[in-house]
């Protein structure tokens, strides 16, 4: 059951060989890519994909990202990306991420913040209509 404040999605991923460094562990920069995988899965599950945003005439560049590392992932392991949409009254998309290894131990956590730009690259100070309609549909 989803909270009325936040929506969540879980996606399972396998570490690919090209994502590891010479030590056989995932290079730190790939965790931001995993966050993207989580956002894409969230969008497919909850009806808020990048294509939906583009069709409405907007883009959503990332203006802030954070990532804290706790444990390594290694080649061949599977892991879960838990992506949570953090509801805000502001015209922005805030996602929180938690990556758990095969033993369900927290590997890393982070957050991204995206803003809405219209077709003229103007910053939207209010929720675009399509986004507010989506939030209403989701009970947010």
pTM as predicted: 0.93
How far apart are alpha carbons 7 and 5 in whole angstroms? Answer: 7
How far apart are alpha carbons 92 and 111 in whole angstroms? Answer: 13
Q: What is the CB-side half-sphere exposure of residue 105 using CA atoms within 13 A?
A: 8
Mean local confidence (pLDDT), 81-110: 97
> Which tokens belong to 51?
């294509």
Write the pLDDT tens digit of every residue in 115-131.
999 999 999 999 999 99
Write the pLDDT tens digit of every residue in 29-56.
999 999 999 999 999 999 999 999 999 9
How far apart are alpha carbons 62 and 116 in whole angstroms? Answer: 9
What pLDDT was estimated at residue 6?
76
């Amino acid at each position: 059951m989803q909270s009325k404040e936040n929506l969540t999605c879980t996606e399972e991923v396998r570490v690919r060989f090209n994502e590891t460094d010479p030590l056989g562990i995932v290079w730190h920069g790939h965790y931001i890519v995993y966050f993207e995988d989580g956002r894409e899965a969230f969008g497919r599950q909850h009806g808020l994909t990048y294509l939906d945003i583009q069709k409405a005439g907007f883009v959503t560049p990332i203006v802030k990202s954070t990532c804290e590392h706790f444990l390594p992932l290694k080649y061949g392991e599977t892991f879960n990306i838990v992506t949570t949409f953090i509801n805000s009254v502001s015209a922005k998309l805030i996602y929180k991420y938690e990556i758990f290894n095969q033993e369900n131990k927290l590997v890393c956590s982070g957050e991204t913040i995206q803003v809405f730009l219209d077709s003229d690259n103007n910053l939207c100070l209010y929720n675009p209509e399509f986004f507010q309609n989506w939030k209403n549909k989701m009970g947010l």
